[in-house]
């Protein structure tokens, strides 16, 4: 079961508020860096929210995608329109003890 997207932790924010903050930040970064490659590092919660936003998946829908620690996801932005190019790549971890690639 997915958490209630309207639930607010005391002195915190709910998922919808977090996403609104993320969208504003992402669009600002994209607008200030047209044509550039930008690396952002985040936790799984914001990454889950961004994935759902870009692919228009409701927060109430069960997660049918994995978020691997240390994975790389690639998004493109143009005129505040975001698209997903690649999700959760762990190729760069191959040959390390960091993760079991056969998960």
Domain of residue 55: give its range: 15-93
Q: Name the 3-class secondary structure at 93.
A: helix
Higher pLDDT, 3 or 15: 15
Instruction: Please tell me the least confidently modeled range out of 6-10, 50-54, 56-60, 67-71.
Output: 6-10
Q: What is the token pair recorded at 5?
A: 């997207």
Q: Is the pLDDT of residue 6 over 90?
A: no
CB 29 within 8 A of CB 36: no
State the CB neighbour count (10 A cutoff) for residue 67.
15
Alpha-helix residue ranges (DSSP H) falling in the chain? 15-32, 44-55
Residue 96 has φ and ψ, to the nearest 5°, of -110, 170
Mean pLDDT computed over 63-92: 92
24-49 pLDDT, tens digit each = 999 999 999 999 999 999 999 999 99
Q: Report, in angstroms and rounded to the nearest whole number, the Rg of the chain calculated over CA atoms.
A: 15
77 located within any domain:
yes
Q: Name the 3-class secondary structure at 33.
A: coil
5 located within any domain:
no
Q: Report how many domains make up the chain.
A: 1
Mean pLDDT computed over 64-80: 91
100 located within any domain:
no
Higher pLDDT, 66 or 4: 66
48 located within any domain:
yes
The CA distance from 61 to 65, in Å, is 11
Q: What is the pTM of this model?
A: 0.80
CB 84 within 8 A of CB 71: no
């Amino acid at each position: 079961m997915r958490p209630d997207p309207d639930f607010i932790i005391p002195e915190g924010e709910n998922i919808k508020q977090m996403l609104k903050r993320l969208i504003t930040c992402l669009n600002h970064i994209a607008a200030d860096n047209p044509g550039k490659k930008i690396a952002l590092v985040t936790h799984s919660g914001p990454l889950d929210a961004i994935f759902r936003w870009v692919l228009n998946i409701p927060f109430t829908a069960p997660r049918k995608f994995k978020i691997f620690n240390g994975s790389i996801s690639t998004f493109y932005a143009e005129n505040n329109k975001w698209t997903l190019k690649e999700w959760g790549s762990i190729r760069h971890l191959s040959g390390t003890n960091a993760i079991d690639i056969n998960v």
